[in-house]
């Protein structure tokens, strides 16, 4: 008999609490603290101590150096006129986010120092979720933004500029370890070890970032599954992007340009399953894509121009589909040496194709063999690269193409296109 | 000597073959520039043409010119002129006229296209310089061969074979030796071997200038390190000069002792 009353009692309590919380957020939580070096609150540390959850701290222009700043409440910090937070090379993190729902916006964060023991960071997010890091400049912070077990975060429009000279004493621009649902967009990352490093990162997106002049990789995936990167630019890095031991990575509309060096790649794939590589541009790299084990990967609508090697497969690679790509003016279009081959190569445009199209359907009438004899020779005796573009090499390549003896016979494009693929 | 040089030069310049040669380069380079529009790519395409054609044309032209002007040479020999002057004059006249066909044939389209405002100017200069060197080298060799062989057919045969050897067979043997000895460190050997053949040397010089070396992986790096430095460039220029001077010196010697 009393049960309905009991229910209504709890109901009333809940309503009361809700009301209280609403009032609370109206009168207390929406507080704003202003930090100004000429004002009442002079340091960020003071402001952090004063403010409660959900407050906004406005930091006005100036130079703040206050040791490590620990943000342990859900706050919004906004820099106005780009205040500088300087670590003065004290070999410690500059900002640590240790609370959910923190927003950090509009700061310049600089000089974390260099350490061979600790991973110093400009901004470190420690085991918390829902953070937003937007429009900050991170200069000479060993690691720019360091995420450890942090989920559902946004890292948008930051500039992360390092001074990496050698790999051992430098950090990564954006470093993520055990994270989920990250959205990283519009960042520019220059001169670090890896531009962006993902280790055990799931379901994350990278959009419109620029990664340039990094010592090792522009973007590096390790053991990370179900991620997607779209429309990024990777330029002049040790290697553009390395995707290693990962599944279901989508790579769309990225540009890999000018990654030069004796061991340099636009894209390096190592033990990859079920990836999609579509509408990317590979221009002027020593090696467009180096594939060391890829299975069920789709290469579709990509353009390979002016690379030393467009795609080089080493090791076992099975069930890959290389369809509708443009291969233009590469020294070697495709290197695929394993005698057993069940990869599909179909409907690509090859600038070195010399066949004809009598029925005018846009598809060449004779199949094209993209693997050159010279590439086979070079992989065995690298010194023979000296003979690149000599008449003798052209002659033996031609005769091999007519009747393959050394290169795998069944690697060919049965429907080579006469015109570039437009997508 | 200057008089004979001048005579040979103007004699050759007036011949229709010089015009054909000049027009050939003019048409090729202007059509490549028109079609592609990318100077760097045009230089690579021209490189392939120059490395094959310049030695061939210089060889054939050299032999042809020597045999054709033989009667005139005999007439000159009857005059009180030093032998060295006669043959050197003829040789330099030939080489200069061929080089100027090459220079103007390639230079005019590139000038009109605006090579001086382009960053590729040095690559173009390297291309021209190696082309001129190859002309001088191969016309000297052919002159020497012709001087040594009274039999025209034999002269032509030897010259064509020499061209084929330098342009194709040498690379084949080179490659073969690299494959046979691949267990050994081959960087120095391959560097040396590629420097001994003027056609290979020219090809590598142009390729390295064109940043293709970056696309050549590890070996490319080795080569770039050598040829990219001033010593490397100086050494390769020196070798090209040697390749010119040696046959010319032989011409002087052989012509001095030859019975006409």
pLDDT tens by residue, B200-218: 999 888 887 776 655 666 6
A 377-416 residues inside an 8 A Cβ radius of B: 377, 380-393, 395
- Per the CB < 8 A criterion, the answer to whether B202 and B53 are in contact is no
Residue A315 Rama label (left phi>0; alpha psi -120 to 50; beta): left
Is the Cβ pair B182, A263 closer than 8 Å? Answer: no
Query: Backbone phi, then psi, for A195, in 5-degree steps?
Result: -60, -60
Does pLDDT of A147 surpass 70?
yes
- Among chain B residues, the shortest Cα distance to A374 is held by B175
Torsion of CA A253, A182, A30, A138, to 10 degrees: -80
Determine if the pTM surpasses 0.90.
no
A 6-35 residues inside an 8 A Cβ radius of B: none
Sign of CA dihedral A292, A296, A297, A298: positive
pLDDT band with cut points at 50, 70 and 90 for residue A26: very low
- Residue B175: what pLDDT? 92
Distance CA A69, CA A48 (A): 9
Report the share of chain A in percent with pLDDT over 70.
93
CA angle B22, B28, B30 (to 5 degrees): 95
Is the Cβ pair A286, B200 closer than 8 Å? Answer: no
| Distances B32 to B18, B46, B49, B229 between C-alpha atoms, Å | 21, 9, 12, 31
Distance CA A284, CA B212 (A): 9
- Residue A156: what pLDDT? 94
Is the Cβ pair A383, B178 closer than 8 Å? Answer: yes
Does pLDDT of B2 surpass 80?
no
B96, two tokens:
């200069």
Is the Cβ pair B204, A386 closer than 8 Å? Answer: yes
Of the listed ranges A61-75, A94-108, A294-308, B221-235, the one predicted with least confidence: B221-235
- Residue A408: what pLDDT? 81
B105, two tokens:
């044939």
Does pLDDT of A225 surpass 90?
yes
Is the Cβ pair A389, B207 closer than 8 Å? Answer: yes
B107 has a chain A CB within 8 A of its CB: no
Does pLDDT of A2 surpass 60?
no
pLDDT tens by residue, A76-91: 999 999 999 998 888 8
Q: Which residues contact B110 (CB under 8 A, 6 or more apart)?
A: B29, B33, B39, B124
Output A13 or B221, whichever has higher pLDDT: B221
What letters, b where the CB count within 10 A reaches 16 and e where it falls short, cover A213-222?
bbbbbbbbbb
Q: Where are the alpha helices (DSSP H) in A300-346?
A: none
B173 has a chain A CB within 8 A of its CB: no
Distance CA A272, CA A281 (A): 20
Does pLDDT of A176 surpass 60?
yes
Is the Cβ pair B171, A388 closer than 8 Å? Answer: no
Of the listed ranges A25-29, A231-235, B79-83, the one predicted with least confidence: A25-29
- Per the CB < 8 A criterion, the answer to whether A33 and A50 are in contact is yes
Report the pLDDT averaged over residues A19-29. Answer: 49
Does pLDDT of A198 surpass 90?
yes
- Residue A18: what pLDDT? 56
- Residue A71: what pLDDT? 92
Among candidate residues A38, A58, A39, the one with its CA nearest the CA of residue A48: A58
Report the pLDDT averaged over residues B120-143. Answer: 92
B217 has a chain A CB within 8 A of its CB: yes
Report the pLDDT averaged over residues B72-95. Answer: 88
Of the listed ranges A18-22, A188-192, A276-280, B215-219, the one predicted with least confidence: A18-22
Is the Cβ pair A308, B200 closer than 8 Å? Answer: no
Report the pLDDT averaged over residues A156-178. Answer: 89
B49 has a chain A CB within 8 A of its CB: no
pLDDT tens by residue, B23-55: 999 999 999 988 887 787 788 888 888 999 999
Query: Cα-atom radius of gyration of chain B, to the nearest Å?
Result: 20
- Residue B121: what pLDDT? 86
Distance CA A146, CA A136 (A): 14
- Residue A27: what pLDDT? 46
Is the Cβ pair B179, A377 closer than 8 Å? Answer: yes
Report the pLDDT averaged over residues A223-252. Answer: 92
A 295-334 residues inside an 8 A Cβ radius of B: 306-308, 329, 331
Among B44, B215, B218, whose Cβ lies nearest the Cβ of A382?
A: B218
């Amino acid at each position: 008999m009393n049960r309905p009353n009991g229910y209504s009692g709890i109901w009333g309590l809940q309503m009361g609490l809700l009301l209280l919380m609403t009032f609370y957020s109206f009168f207390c939580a929406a507080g704003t603290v202003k930090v100004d070096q000429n004002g009442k609150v002079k340091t960020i540390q003071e402001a952090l101590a004063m403010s409660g959850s959900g407050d906004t701290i406005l930091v006005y222009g100036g130079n703040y150096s206050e040791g490590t700043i620990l943000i342990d409440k859900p706050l919004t910090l906004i820099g106005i006129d780009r205040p500088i937070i300087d670590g003065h090379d004290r070999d410690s993190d500059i900002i640590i986010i240790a609370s959910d729902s923190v927003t950090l916006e509009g700061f310049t964060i600089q000089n974390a120092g260099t350490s061979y023991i600790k991973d110093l960071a400009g901004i470190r997010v420690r085991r918390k979720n829902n953070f937003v890091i937007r429009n900050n400049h991170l200069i000479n912070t060993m690691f720019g933004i360091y995420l450890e077990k942090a989920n559902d975060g946004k890292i948008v429009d930051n500039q992360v500029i390092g001074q990496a000279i050698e790999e051992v004493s430098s950090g990564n621009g954006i470093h993520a370890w055990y994270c989920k649902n990250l959205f990283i967009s519009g960042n520019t990352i220059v001169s670090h070890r890896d531009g962006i490093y993902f280790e055990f990162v799931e379901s994350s997106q990278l959009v419109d970032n620029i990664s340039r002049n990094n010592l090792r990789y522009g973007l590096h995936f390790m053991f990370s599954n179900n991620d997607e990167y779209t429309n990024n630019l990777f330029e002049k890095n040790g290697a553009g992007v390395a995707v290693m031991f990962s599944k279901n990575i989508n790579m769309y509309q990225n540009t890999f340009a000018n990654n030069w060096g004796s061991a340099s790649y636009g894209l390096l794939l190592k033990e990859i399953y079920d990836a999609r590589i579509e509408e990317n541009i590979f221009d002027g790299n020593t090696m467009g894509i180096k594939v060391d084990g890829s299975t069920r990967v789709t290469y579709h609508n990509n353009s390979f121009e002016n690379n030393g090697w467009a795609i080089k497969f080493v090791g076992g690679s099975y069930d890959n589909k290389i369809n509708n790509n443009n291969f233009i003016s590469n020294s070697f279009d495709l290197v695929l040496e394993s005698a057993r081959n069940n990869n599909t190569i179909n409907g690509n445009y090859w600038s070195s194709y010399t066949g004809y199209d009598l029925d005018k359907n846009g598809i060449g009438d004779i199949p094209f063999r993209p693997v050159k004899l010279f590439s086979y020779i070079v992989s065995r005796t690298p010194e023979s690269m000296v003979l690149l573009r000599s008449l003798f090499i052209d002659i033996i390549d031609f005769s091999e193409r007519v009747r393959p003896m050394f290169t795998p016979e069944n690697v060919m494009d049965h429907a080579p296109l006469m015109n570039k693929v437009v997508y | 000597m200057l008089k004979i040089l001048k005579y040979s030069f103007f004699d050759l310049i007036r011949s229709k073959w010089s015009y054909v040669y000049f027009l050939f380069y003019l048409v090729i380079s202007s059509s490549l520039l028109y079609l592609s529009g990318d100077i760097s790519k045009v230089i690579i395409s021209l490189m392939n043409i120059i490395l094959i054609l310049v030695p061939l044309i210089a060889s054939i032209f050299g032999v042809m010119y020597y045999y054709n002007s033989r009667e005139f040479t005999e007439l000159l020999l009857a005059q009180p002129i030093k032998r060295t002057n006669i043959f050197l004059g003829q040789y330099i006249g030939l080489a200069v006229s061929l080089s100027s066909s090459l220079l103007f044939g390639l230079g005019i389209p590139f000038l009109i296209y605006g090579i001086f405002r382009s960053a590729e100017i040095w690559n173009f200069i390297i291309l021209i310089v190696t082309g001129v060197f190859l002309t001088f080298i191969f016309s000297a060799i052919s002159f020497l061969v012709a001087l040594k062989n009274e039999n025209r057919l034999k002269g032509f045969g030897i010259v064509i074979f020499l061209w084929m050897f330098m342009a194709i067979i040498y690379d084949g043997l080179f490659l073969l030796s690299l494959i046979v000895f691949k267990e050994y460190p081959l960087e120095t050997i391959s560097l040396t071997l590629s420097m001994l053949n003027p056609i290979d040397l020219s090809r590598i010089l142009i390729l390295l200038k064109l940043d293709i070396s970056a696309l050549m992986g590890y070996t490319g790096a080795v080569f770039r390190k050598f040829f990219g430095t001033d010593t490397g460039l100086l050494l390769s220029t020196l070798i090209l000069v040697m390749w010119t001077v040696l046959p010319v010196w032989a011409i002087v010697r052989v012509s001095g002792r030859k019975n006409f």
